Amino acid sequence: MNKLKLTITMSLDGYVAGPEQSLENPLGIGGEELHNWLIPLEAWRKDHGYEGGEVNASTRIAEEILGNVGAVIMGRNMFGGGPGPWSDEPWKGWWGDDPPFHAPVFVLTHHAREPVEMQGGTTYHFVTDGIESALEQARAAAEDQIVSLAGGASVAQQYLAAGLLDEIVVSVVPRLLGGGARLLDNLGDPLPELVQVEAVEAPGVTHIRYARA
Amino acid sequence: MNKLKLTITMSLDGYVAGPEQSLENPLGIGGEELHNWLIPLEAWRKDHGYEGGEVNASTRIAEEILGNVGAVIMGRNMFGGGPGPWSDEPWKGWWGDDPPFHAPVFVLTHHAREPVEMQGGTTYHFVTDGIESALEQARAAAEDQIVSLAGGASVAQQYLAAGLLDEIVVSVVPRLLGGGARLLDNLGDPLPELVQVEAVEAPGVTHIRYARA
């Protein structure tokens, strides 16, 4: 069965977004800087239509995020457009007409909506019947590739607490954010058990891969 | 000047001790298991009077903790014996007659007390005039070796927020504790800035070394 995998960048104090998230600042104060290890990479730039860039120990991790993904799951807060029912001219994500997913994206929401087809192979599907259903649909769509859990923190917590996450790659950056969205909170009882699979030292970041114990 | 260094093991969700710390369970529920990477090592066992043990990528980190330490600073909560004034038969630490420090230990407390000399080179000094004073005294005692900040979380936070920590080695273990003492909280404004110096992959743990930016 296709693996469900979370690849996420976390500040050393445990946040995946900074305080005061807003429409202007979707990752909160300091949140954008979490991804300073990723953006300069050739692997990321090429995927986003730019030339040049760096090649280093993070390249393999970035290529994993960018390739071999057959379907994506994300929460409504990450998809954006504010909470509550969709408006008449509804929000189509933060990522423009040609989003970087190139795969079906299953958005968890309480508010039903028809699928939206974007350019480049991304179609947004809106799932209102819970995380298991979203995973089932994503697995069916992913064929022989992995299902990527894109975030945010709350959705990641729900999948982790439910024992549905097969693999987590946490990219720990040397930043302190002091507040915001914590990745590893509200994980239920008993707590999920993990094993460390590998750690990768790279410039300005340490990638640690965990599997379900 | 002697470096002030914190070497501490942290759960993936950011705790250095589990919930419900008590006299019977000083590291809280699940807290002892944080150090499962350290205890089987030959380096640790030898230092504590045992033979045999493992040698792996953590050995260098363990040897650093155990050697080259000229003085130790710790908080009253870590030293133990409960809060408030010292009793008539006062507490002499968790570590028996021959504690593993083999160096002067400066205990931050609000309650004055005469120094206590233990076996093996450990003397407990009780400092009531704050973290700068403890650091000054520890530096004077450490001669050409480092000053080790032993913890707990609250004292580590105070030194980090004050910009007095030169180096931090965080040993991240694949455990979730779900509650307890968080290392990286209450770090003030502006937040301390760190740079990543190295990351060491080892069995069941990833050691990440940070320096002050």
Element at B71 (helix H, strand E): strand B69-75
Backbone dihedral region for residue B40 (phi beyond 0: left; psi -120 to 50: alpha; all else: beta): alpha
Does any domain span residue B67? yes
CB contact under 8 A, B208 and A206: yes
CB contact under 8 A, A12 and B177: no
Q: Which chain B positions have a beta carbon within 8 Å of A201's beta carbon?
A: 198-201
Domain of residue B179: give its range. 4-82+94-212
Does any domain span residue B89? no
Q: Which chain B positions have a beta carbon within 8 Å of A175's beta carbon?
A: 194
Give the pLDDT confidence score for residue A86 in this predicted structure.
92
Does any domain span residue A157? yes
Give the pLDDT confidence score for residue B75 in this predicted structure.
95
The span from the CA of A129 to the CA of A146, in Å, is: 22
Cis peptide before A190 (omega within 30 of 0): yes
Out of A174, A178, A196, name the one closest to residue B195 (CB): A174
Does any domain span residue B87? no
Does any domain span residue A204? yes
Q: Which chain B positions have a beta carbon within 8 Å of A172's beta carbon?
A: 172, 208
Number of folded domains in chain A? Answer: 1
Range name among A121-130, A133-142, A169-178, B82-91 with the lowest pLDDT average:
B82-91
What 3-state class would DSSP assign to B17?
A: strand
Does any domain span residue B88? no
Does any domain span residue A37? yes
Q: Which chain A positions have a beta carbon within 8 Å of B205's beta carbon?
A: 196
Mean of all residue pLDDT scores within chain A: 94
CA distance A141 to chain B (A): 31
pLDDT 10s digit of each residue in chain B, 213 long?
889 999 999 999 999 999 998 878 888 998 999 999 999 999 999 988 899 999 999 999 999 888 889 999 999 999 988 888 998 888 999 999 999 899 999 999 999 999 999 999 999 999 999 999 999 999 999 999 999 999 889 999 999 999 999 999 999 999 999 999 999 999 989 999 999 999 999 999 999 999 999
Give the CATH number, domain containing residue A34.
Answer: 3.40.430.10
CB contact under 8 A, B13 and A204: no
Out of A176, A196, A205, name the one closest to residue B191 (CB): A176
Does any domain span residue A208? yes
The span from the CA of B151 to the CA of B75, in Å, is: 6
